[in-house]
A and B are shown apart, each in its own frame.
Chain A
């Protein structure tokens, strides 16, 4: 299996606080990897570092997109990271609330489009065709994610679970090879979580993307992931297959008090 993301020695200091301490992580093609750990362990910070929102204090990050050269993504701006094929969702939903569901996904297509100011004003054939294509492509994505019924609704009027799925749809629209999901099941009920489980597997299979997710729902994590990385206090304390992680004494200790026999 080809490795598509390598993170080496990633360290992030905020003032005196060490939020991430020399983390190594790698993801292969078509793999679903979970990043777990107690609250405040540094999981979201890890996402923010990879996606260019925070510049990491130290460490290296490389991507090897399918069919492309291996390259470093350290120091890239968030939009450049996305252009390179990493897309993410947010823990606290960050949709464009006053735009429609369709428009939200269309924004995701932005970086794969090319028309500029001149095109917008002249509305030449290339621009019109591009716009039409984007509307259709966006709709197709919504269909896949199961949101086509909401296509013309405003994002703010969507039920909670649908908003989470719309974030995934929007991220998918950027044509990523690696999808980073930050607590996609947070606030979902049992049925919604189960649907999400299936959706993630389906995305992996049909789109051929790898997935890195942060999640607290252990049942989901165990059933979904090929491999799991565990962080605590900014340090990686374990990695391995779900069944290995479940038995790992260090992990159990870190989670002591939390329900862990899922």
Chain B
């Protein structure tokens, strides 16, 4: 239970945080009117908050340490979480999946356009998360400029449509191809770099693209962006606003399912194995005959392809784009989705995206603090649950016995 020394410790922690946050939380100056506002209430808030949180922090720490010891002692701490139990039992997850499928199909007919729109946005993030998951989760490459490829896709549809009247359906593969092209273009020189340099170079690249879009008016129309981008049509049908929204939603459902399918297959393939091995040990990987650069480049380019494709969808959905949609924070939100869900875990990323995008939409009071909380989520996840909420239970290759078709294929 809570002991006296612990209370003392928490008391000092809270004193420290009250000191630390004093100038920023309590004092607010207005240098123009030379007025100072004192917000003593905040000090109390910080004090009480940090006092309580320090208990939670210590409790989580103890739990983590206990888990580690268990693992060292040989227990399989693959801690069967709630999700894993569901996922492991077809009897439970099958009806569950069918339920979700029905809900997803009925969604636009039950809820308003507004809700459907939000859901479509969330699905866009699911796809972005799954794309980035290939790069970060599977291949272990920290890409902080992911949003640049998203921008490439969005602008390629907007500009091709503006200048040449290209339709959405033509722009979709072109956007994906351009994403891949830029992915390879950037990846080729930078993938030789060590992990942390890669992070900062990709971040730089993302910013370069954004700054160019903002300043090169003749090309991208600058900060004012491009408006009146047509929504996708389908077999020549003209949709009403409601129809278009519903269509967009179903389109996203199809694309998301397609993404899940592709990522799953990639994960359980020769190339997916190579990615995971590369994340584990680069040198051993090369010594086993895996071309490091080529394998990394494949992951990077595939991630970029997805971003490019989703970019086209995004432009079509919002009908208006400008550089402000493609800041580095956007990249970090996507990273947050991957991290929260569990790096490398497809289902985790899907849940991560839905939680991170839908929660702030529905809890309006909380949306102001969205980015603050995202930051905290990244730290807390890394410290206490680096595997994510639904950590990747990778389907490992298992040997089930010889089929007898082959006796020896000569090694």
Q: Which residues of A contact B (CB under 8 A)?
A: 51, 53, 77-79, 82-83, 87-88, 90, 94-100, 102-103, 106-108, 110-113, 115-117, 119-121, 123, 127, 130-133, 135-141, 151-152, 170-175, 207
Contact = CB atoms under 8 A, between A and B. Distances in A.
Contacts of B302: 117
B348 interface: no
B409 A96 contact: no
A79 B289 contact: yes
- Residue among A53, A90, A108, A110 with the highest chain B CB neighbour number at 10 A: A110
A171 B285 CA distance: 11
Contacts of B396: 99-100, 102-103, 152
A141 B411 contact: yes
Given A82-B288, A94-B281, A110-B290, 6 more contacts: A78-B283, A78-B286, A111-B288, A117-B298, A119-B270, A137-B411
B291 interface: yes
A102 B399 contact: yes
Given A139-B402, A172-B411, A107 B273 contact: yes
Contacts of A140: 408-409, 411
B41 interface: no
B273 A110 contact: yes
B288 A170 contact: yes
Nearest to B274: A110
A120 B288 contact: no
A103 B269 contact: no
Nearest to A113: B270
B291 A77 contact: yes
- Main SS class of interface, A: helix
B209 interface: no
Contact of A110 (B280, B289, B406, B408): B289
A20 B280 CA distance: 30
Contacts of A127: 269
Nearest to A84: B289
The 7 closest A-B pairs by CB, nearest first: A111-B289, A120-B269, A82-B289, A94-B284, A78-B286, A96-B280, A151-B399
A107 B409 contact: no
Given A120-B265, A137-B411, A96 B276 contact: yes
A151 B399 CA distance: 7
A123 B411 contact: no
Given A95-B284, A107-B285, A132-B403, A115 B397 contact: no
A96 B277 contact: yes
B385 interface: no
B287 interface: yes
B104 interface: no
B288 A90 contact: no
Contacts of A151: 398-399
B160 to A, nearest CB: 26
Contacts of A112: 289
A117 B409 contact: no
A51 B287 contact: yes
A87 B288 CA distance: 7
B277 to A, nearest CB: 5
Given A111-B288, A120-B272, A99 B411 contact: no
Nearest to B76: A157
A175 B265 CA distance: 27
B292 interface: yes
Nearest to B409: A137
A88 to B, nearest CB: 6
A83 B411 contact: no
B404 to A, nearest CB: 9
Nearest to A116: B271
B146 to A, nearest CB: 19
Contacts of B276: 96, 98-99
Contacts of B298: 117
A98 B280 contact: yes
A77 B274 CA distance: 17
Given A90-B284, A94-B283, A152 B266 contact: no
A94 B286 CA distance: 11
A115 B270 contact: yes
Contacts of A175: 411
B212 interface: no
Interface string B383-408: 00000000000001111001101101
Contacts of A172: 411
B411 A120 contact: no
Interface in B259-309: 262, 265-266, 269-274, 276-277, 280-281, 283-292, 298, 302
B397 A102 contact: yes
A119 B408 CA distance: 24
A82 B286 CA distance: 8
Nearest to B408: A140
Given A127-B269, A135-B399, A139-B399, A83 B277 contact: no
A136 B271 contact: no
Given A53-B283, A103-B396, A120-B272, A79 B291 contact: yes
A87 B286 CA distance: 10
A132 B409 CA distance: 12
A107 B399 contact: no
Residue of B289, B397, B402 with highest tally of chain A CB at under 10 A: B289
A120 B398 contact: no
B398 A78 contact: no
Contact of B289 (A94, A106, A174): A174
B123 to A, nearest CB: 21
20 contacts: A78-B287, A79-B286, A94-B287, A96-B277, A99-B276, A100-B396, A100-B398, A102-B396, A102-B399, A103-B273, A106-B273, A107-B288, A117-B302, A120-B265, A120-B266, A127-B269, A136-B403, A136-B406, A140-B409, A152-B399
A99 to B, nearest CB: 6
A94 to B, nearest CB: 4
A90 to B, nearest CB: 7
A110 B271 CA distance: 9
A87 B287 contact: yes
Contacts of A137: 406, 409, 411
